Structure 1
Amino acid sequence: MDIVIRATIMFAILFALLRLMGKRELGQMTPFELVMLVVVGDLIQQGITHNDFSLTGATLAIATFAFWTVVLGWVVYLSPRAQRVVEGAPRVLVRDGELVAANLERDRLTRAEIESEMRLAGIAHLGEVAWAILEPEGRISFIKRDGDSDSSRPDNPKPS
C-alpha cells in the first residue's frame, strides 16, 4: 500500500510540475531537456518504489499512475471546467497582425519563436496573420488574413 500512496503523491507532483513548465516547453525540448526528462523518470521510480525492486512493486506503481491518468481523463471528459484547469485553454498570441504581449510573456514566448512557427506554416510576415492561437497541447494555430479585416474575425464570419 505504501507504493500506491507514494505513486499517487508523485503523480500529483509530476502533474503540477508539467503544468508549471508551460505549454510550449514540452513541445520544444532540446536534447539536454530530453535527457533530463529521462533522468526525472528514473528519479520518480526510485521515489515511488524506494528499495522495492520486485515485479509486484513495479506493477503497483505503474497501475497507480495508469489509474490516476484514467481518472483525470474522465474528470476532463465530464467537466468542461475541469478541462480548462487540467489541460488549459487556448490563448491568442497574435490578433490582426499584432502580437499580444501579455500572452507571449505569460507563456514565455518570443517574437522570434512566433516568426519561426509562422515560417513553418508558410506565412512570411506577421501582417498576414489574422489570429495565432496557442492551443492547449502547445501547438500554435495560424489563421491568415483574407484581405477583408472584418471577415477574418471568428465572431464575424464572411457571408457565403
Structure 2
Amino acid sequence: MEIVIRASVMFAVMYLLLRLMGKRELGQMAPFELVSLIVMGDLIQQGVTHQDFSLTGATLAIVTFAGWSLVLGLVGHHSTRARRILESAPVVLVRGGSVIKRNMDIERIDRDELAAEMRLAGISRLDQVAWAILEPEGKISFIRADGQDVDSRRNEDDLAD
C-alpha cells in the first residue's frame, strides 16, 4: 500500500511539473529539457518504489500511474469544469497579423520559433496570419488572413496541383 500512496504523490508532482513546463511537443524540446524528463523518470522510480526493485513494486507503481491517468482522463471527459482545470486551453499567439506578446511570453515561445512554424505551414509574412493558436497538445494552428487553407503536412496530391 505504501507504493500506491508514493506513486499517487509522485503522479501529482509530475502532473503539476509537466503543466508548468508548458505545451511543447517532444520534437520541439531542447536537448536539456528531454534529458531532464528522462532523469525525472529515474528519480520518480526511486521515490515511488523506495528502492524496491521487485516485480510487484514496479507493477504497483505503473498500475497506479496508469490508473490516475485514466481517472483524470475520464473526469476531464465528463466534466467541463474539471477539464478546464486538468487540461490547458488553446492560446492565441497572433490576432490579425499582430503578435500577442504577453501570450508568447507566458508560453515561452519566441518570434524565431513562431517564424519557423509559419514557414512550415507555408506562410512567409506575419500579415498573412489572421490567427495563430497554440493548441493544448503543443502544435501551432494557423488561419490565414486570405482564407486559404494552411496545412504543413502536404501530401503528393497537394504538390501535383
For residues 71-117 of structure 1, the C-alpha deviation after alignment (integer angstroms, 9 at most, x for no partner) is: 00101100122212211111110001000111111111111111111
Contact 2:25 2:137 in 1 (8 A): no
Contact 1:27 1:139 in 2 (8 A): no
**% identical aligned pairs:** 66
TM-score (norm 2): 0.87
Higher mean alpha-carbon deviation, 80-89 vs 126-135, is at: 80-89
Q: Which SS does the other structure have where 2:93 is aligned? A: strand
Partner of 1:61: 61
Match of 2:30 in 1: 30
Q: In 1, distance between residues paired with 2:111 and 2:35?
A: 27
Equivalent pairs, count: 147
Q: What is the aligned partner in structure 2 of residue 111 from structure 1?
A: 111
Give the 3-state SS of the residue equivalent to 2:34 in structure 1: helix
8 Å contact 2:23–2:137 — kept in the other structure?
yes
Q: Which is further off, 77-86 or 26-35?
A: 26-35
Deviation at 1:36, TM superposition (A): 2.1
Which runs of 5 or more structure 2 residues have no equivalent in the other structure? 148-161
Counterpart contact for 1:89–1:136, Cα < 8 Å: yes
Q: Residue type of the partner of 2:14?
A: L
* Residue identity opposite 1:120 in structure 2: L
Residues 87 and 137, structure 1, Cα contact 8 Å, conserved in 2: no
How well do the aligned residues superpose, as a CA RMSD in angstroms?
Answer: 1.4
Task: Provide structure 1 residue ranges, at least 5 long, that are not aligned to the other structure.
Answer: 148-160
Q: Mapping of 1:1-160 within 5 angstroms? A: 1-24=1-24, 26=26, 28-146=28-146
